[in-house]
Amino acid sequence: MSASEDLHKRRLAAVAPGVTSAISSYVDNAAGGTLTDVDGREWIDFAAGIAVTSVGNSAPLVVQAVQDQVARFTHTCFMVAPYESYVSVCEQLNALTPGTFEKRSALFNSGAEAVENAVKIARYATRRPAVVVFDHGYHGRTNLTMALTAKVMPYKDGFGPFAPEIYRAPMSYPLRDGLSGEAAAARAIDIIEKQVGASNVAAILIEPIQGEGGFVVPAPGFLPALADWARSAGAVFIADEIQTGFCRTGDWFASTHEGIEPDLITTAKGIAGGLPLAGVTGRASIMDTVHAGGLGGTYGGNPIACAAALGAIETMRTLDLAAAARRIGATITDRLASLDHPAIAEVRGRGAMVAVELVKPGTLEPDAALTSSINKACHAAGLLTLTCGTYGNVFRFLPPLVMPDAILERGLDILSHAFDNNH
């Protein structure tokens, strides 16, 4: 029995089966683009722990910052005894997020927790109840964020009842609706005005490019039109940049590509090189409304996670990982464009957030079975790929932004073969 098989046996007896893994090999160590499993087999990493280890695994500046911090102190709770790194991370967030207006930030542990807090803040600031989210949207697995998430399986099924006052509007999905950004926004706004009422809307919450929902890139103009509508309706426009943020799309934040300045931005994942940290950043005029003590949590902005974030942000800046994301994205997109496969309906994305959507040839009918067989073929050949999408028919590529070209090309060779051998 291999070491992974042995571990898998132990896992089945010890770990709740509701928690699953994409592969059944167990990791021993990982670096900037590869994972090595406990049997010594190398995997090419096109997942980065779901868009987290953009600076690579165990990036030198992250390791150094964490080791220094862990030796100084591990935790005091920022609500009890504050420390500099929390303040520094907030300063960085306020400076790096789009918008030159005065901002404040608050730190949390997970993406879902950041989203929950953004909704709390928007409701507090507006004294309104309704939150508008979109088809295919993903915002987390806690009770409120399950309600905000669109897809029932596996995220919501059997876990209700869900939080009230959440309304879902149609997303701009150019491949499937053929609408311009303006037309798709008008369709969404009409539903919001007729079914929710502008004066009831606390927040519009949207991923600038949807992650779990299928790397759906809205048509140009969709996001600006929604942001304008939110402003005129007195609602808070929240961009969930948890998957798109921190250089992934070729800029610090995806909102920048569409020229929007969200009122609030949620961040997590790539912010801290693999340590759990999340943030809500936004207009001081909104953030400052909440009463003292209204936001917080035991571990939010833990000093080790903050140290890691400062190391990760410095790495992104010195290595110019936004430029790296654009380069990696172009390499992946070129290779996908050269694949002559009848199931490919669309290659889309921005920067190093690239996806390919698979359908039954000549139709728009999703082909989840083919997606799954190509995914398995990649895994069998040592390439760690992930799928996504409401219909399970989208391949997504999220390599660490420090991945060397040679490894990227090797991964793309495996991918090409997997497409060639599966029709």
Q: What is the binding site for ligand PLZ (CB under 6 A)?
A: 50, 110-112, 115, 138-141, 207, 211-212, 240, 242-243, 268
Nearer to ligand PLZ, 65 or 216 (CB): 216
Nearer to ligand PLZ, 371 or 422 (CB): 371
CB-side neighbour CA atoms (13 Å) of 68: 12
Containing 166, the helix (H) or strand (E) segment is strand 166-169
Nearer to ligand PLZ, 37 or 207 (CB): 207
**Rounded least distance, CB 279 to ligand PLZ, Å:** 12
Q: Helix, strand, coil: what percent of the chain each, to 5?
A: 40, 15, 40
**Rounded least distance, CB 417 to ligand PLZ, Å:** 28
Nearer to ligand PLZ, 242 or 295 (CB): 242
User: What single-letter amino acid sits at 269?
Assistant: K
**Rounded least distance, CB 211 to ligand PLZ, Å:** 4
Residue, CB closest to ligand PLZ: 111
**Rounded least distance, CB 210 to ligand PLZ, Å:** 7
Nearer to ligand PLZ, 214 or 366 (CB): 214
**Rounded least distance, CB 26 to ligand PLZ, Å:** 19
Nearer to ligand PLZ, 38 or 368 (CB): 368
Number of residues written out for the chain: 423
Alpha helices in 31-83 (DSSP H): 48-51, 60-72
What separation in angstroms does the CA of 230 have from each of 132, 158, 198, 203, 226? Answer: 10, 33, 9, 8, 6
Q: How far apart are CA 400 and CA 396, in angstroms?
A: 13
**Rounded least distance, CB 40 to ligand PLZ, Å:** 28
**Rounded least distance, CB 268 to ligand PLZ, Å:** 5
Using the CB atoms, write b or e for 108-143: b if 16+ within 10 Å. Answer: bbbbbbbbbbbbbbbbbbbebebbbbbbbbbbbebe
Give the β-pairing of 236-240 and 166-169.
unpaired
Nearer to ligand PLZ, 112 or 203 (CB): 112
The residue among 149, 150, 139 whose CA lies nearest residue 116 is 139
**Rounded least distance, CB 243 to ligand PLZ, Å:** 4
Q: How far apart are CA 295 and CA 305, in angstroms?
A: 18
Nearer to ligand PLZ, 115 or 324 (CB): 115
Nearer to ligand PLZ, 45 or 240 (CB): 240
**Rounded least distance, CB 280 to ligand PLZ, Å:** 12
Contact 103, 281 (CB under 8 A): yes
DSSP 213: T
The DSSP-derived string for 283-340 is EHHHHTTSPTTSS--SSTT-HHHHHHHHHHHHHHHHTTHHHHHHHHHHHHHHHHHH--
Report residue 181: phi and psi, to 5°. Answer: -60, -40
**Rounded least distance, CB 338 to ligand PLZ, Å:** 29
Q: How far apart are CA 212 and CA 36, in angstroms?
A: 26
Q: How far apart are CA 235 and CA 283, in angstroms?
A: 13
Place of tokens 């306020």: 94
The residue among 328, 331, 319 whose CA lies nearest residue 51 is 328
User: What single-letter amino acid sits at 191?
Assistant: I
Q: How far apart are CA 110 and CA 203, in angstroms?
A: 20
**Rounded least distance, CB 46 to ligand PLZ, Å:** 15
Reply yes or no: is the peptide bond before residue 154 cis, omega within 30 of 0: yes
Nearer to ligand PLZ, 227 or 359 (CB): 227
Nearer to ligand PLZ, 21 or 76 (CB): 21
